[in-house]
């Protein structure tokens, strides 16, 4: 794929993303209040979600926050995503758990310590679907920032059924329902057992919240 084609697709992606996300109607219950309070206090946070819900995770970010840094793969598709998200307070940190993982994790923690919040599509970039990888809990341990489990589901949606993550896009004007879990915190000296316990807890919570958001949106 040529650079010009990447630039064009990134620009078109940005337009489509803006159309869809700016027209959707967010439905956030009182379980979202701790996120608002965390950002209002100027304290950094990590927002963890499943990869298939990525398209809905920038829009609810509280106004007045410093912006999100999100890990994006080093592939050409990742470059398109980076260009598409650039106008929307989202900083792409290039890398993944399978390519440049350690370097991109350090870059994400640096962004957090530099004053930005983090978004983690924590079963990406290639799955397995709804299986949380360890990078997000390492970031929490290294930074001391809490992890907020977060899920979203639109009432009207298009689902890429053949993609590994069943990537979901809300249709223009759709209501999108959010569900938030209690923050997960890790000590800076957490051992491997504590890290694995936190990873498993986060995975179970994200599965529960995904089902809850789906129910709120009126889906089985």
Residues 47-71: pLDDT tens digits?
999 999 988 998 898 888 888 888 7
CB atoms closer than 10 angstroms to residue 66: 16
Angle at which helices 76-85 and 3-23 cross, to 10°: 50
DSSP label at 220? Answer: -
Cis geometry, peptide bond prior to residue 125 (ω within 30 degrees of 0): yes
The confidence score (pLDDT) of residue 96 equals: 58
The confidence score (pLDDT) of residue 101 equals: 61
The confidence score (pLDDT) of residue 2 equals: 63
The confidence score (pLDDT) of residue 9 equals: 80
Q: Which domain holds residue 32?
A: 3-216
Number of independent structural domains in the chain:
1
Spans of the chain, pLDDT less than 50: none
């Amino acid at each position: 794929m040529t650079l010009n084609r990447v630039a064009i697709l990134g620009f078109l992606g940005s337009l489509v993303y803006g159309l869809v996300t700016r027209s959707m109607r967010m439905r956030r219950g009182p379980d979202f209040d701790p996120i608002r309070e965390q950002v209002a206090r100027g304290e950094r946070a990590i927002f963890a979600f499943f990869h298939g819900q990525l398209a809905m995770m920038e829009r609810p970010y509280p106004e007045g926050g410093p912006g999100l840094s999100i890990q994006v793969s080093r592939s050409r598709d990742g470059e398109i995503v980076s260009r598409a998200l650039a106008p929307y307070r989202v900083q792409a940190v290039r890398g993944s758990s399978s390519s440049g993982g350690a370097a991109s994790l350090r870059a994400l923690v640096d962004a957090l310590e530099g004053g930005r919040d983090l978004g983690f599509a924590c079963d990406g970039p290639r799955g397995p679907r709804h299986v949380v990888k360890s990078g997000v809990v390492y970031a929490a341990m290294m930074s001391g920032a809490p992890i907020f489990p977060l899920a979203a589901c639109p009432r009207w949606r298009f689902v890429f059924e053949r993609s590994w993550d069943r990537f979901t896009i809300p249709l223009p004007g759709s209501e999108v329902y959010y569900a938030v879990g209690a923050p997960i915190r890790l000590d800076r000296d957490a051992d491997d057992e504590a890290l694995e316990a936190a990873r498993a807890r986060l995975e179970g919570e994200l599965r529960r919240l995904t089902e809850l958001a789906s129910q709120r949106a009126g889906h089985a």
